[in-house]
Amino acid sequence: MTTWLNMSLQDGASPIMEQLVFFHDHVLMIMLMITTTVSYMMITLIRNKQTSRFMLEGQMIETTWTIAPAIILVFIAMPSLRLLYLMDEVHNPSLTLKAVGHQWYWSYEYSDFTKLEFDSYMIPQEEQQESTFRLLDTDNRIVLPMNSPIRMIVTAADVLHSWTIPSLGVKTDATPGRLNQTSFSISRPGILYGQCSEICGANHSFMPITIESVPAKYFIDWVSKMSE
Ligand SMILES: [Cu+2]
């Protein structure tokens, strides 16, 4: 989750998010290179008076500064497309979780089990304890097994919402009458936080998402306890 003075992205809790962070850093390095070169050239132009009666045309430099940006763009586009298709792929999921957005809470259905579904409301400030995170904790957390591919089905019951977990690199629109699909696997145990990311009405800020990532053994225990 985000903590004080966290300026960049959250640490990746899934292999995809890790790759997204690498890609972000890669693009930043290219941007740094370009801004340095361009500002150096601009400052030089301002500080010097450059006139020459021989510098009327320059085929070579013009070709170079047209081709070079195109090549740089390829270096951004290739890893970007790779990630895009990697995120789109659903690799033989071992579990399916369906999230339904409501005004203003999420409800979840574990379609692989019978009658395993619940609503998940934000814990209001009055009911907070020492351990709860304000505006982020819910009364019913999603429990998911770590290290297993999970298919997410996201939809909404009333208006547009967006199911988002930044540390998993997941952000899927919840649209009424439509099922959107993504997948992820969580690489470590812990609690992951997210919020609705589509302006959905008055209490848009108060429908957080909480995932409890646990080892598979504990997940099975939880399922059997829930479906008793
Ligand atoms: Cu919403």
- The string of pLDDT tens digits covering residues 141-187 is 999 999 999 999 999 999 999 999 999 999 999 999 999 999 999 99
Mean pLDDT of the chain: 93
pLDDT at 170: 95
**What CA dihedral angle connects 154, 159, 165 and 170, to 10 degrees?**
50
| 104 Cα to the center of ligand 1, angstroms | 6
| 58 Cα to the center of ligand 1, angstroms | 56
* pLDDT over 80 at 101, yes or no: yes
* pLDDT over 90 at 139, yes or no: yes
Q: Are strands 95-102 and 170-174 parallel, antiparallel or unpaired?
A: unpaired
Q: How confident is the model at residue 51 (pLDDT cuts 50, 70, 90)?
A: confident
* pLDDT over 90 at 52, yes or no: no
Q: Does 174 or 55 have the greater pLDDT score?
A: 174
The residues, any chain, with a CB within 8 Å of residue 49's CB and separated by 6 or more, are none
| 138 Cα to the center of ligand 1, angstroms | 14
| 163 Cα to the center of ligand 1, angstroms | 8
Residue 124: count other Cβ atoms within 10 Å of its Cβ. 11
| 203 Cα to the center of ligand 1, angstroms | 8
From 127, 136, 117, 133, select the one nearest 207 (Cα to Cα): 136
Architecture of the domain made up of 95-227: Sandwich (2.60)
pTM of the full structure = 0.86
Tokens representing 31 are: 């941007």
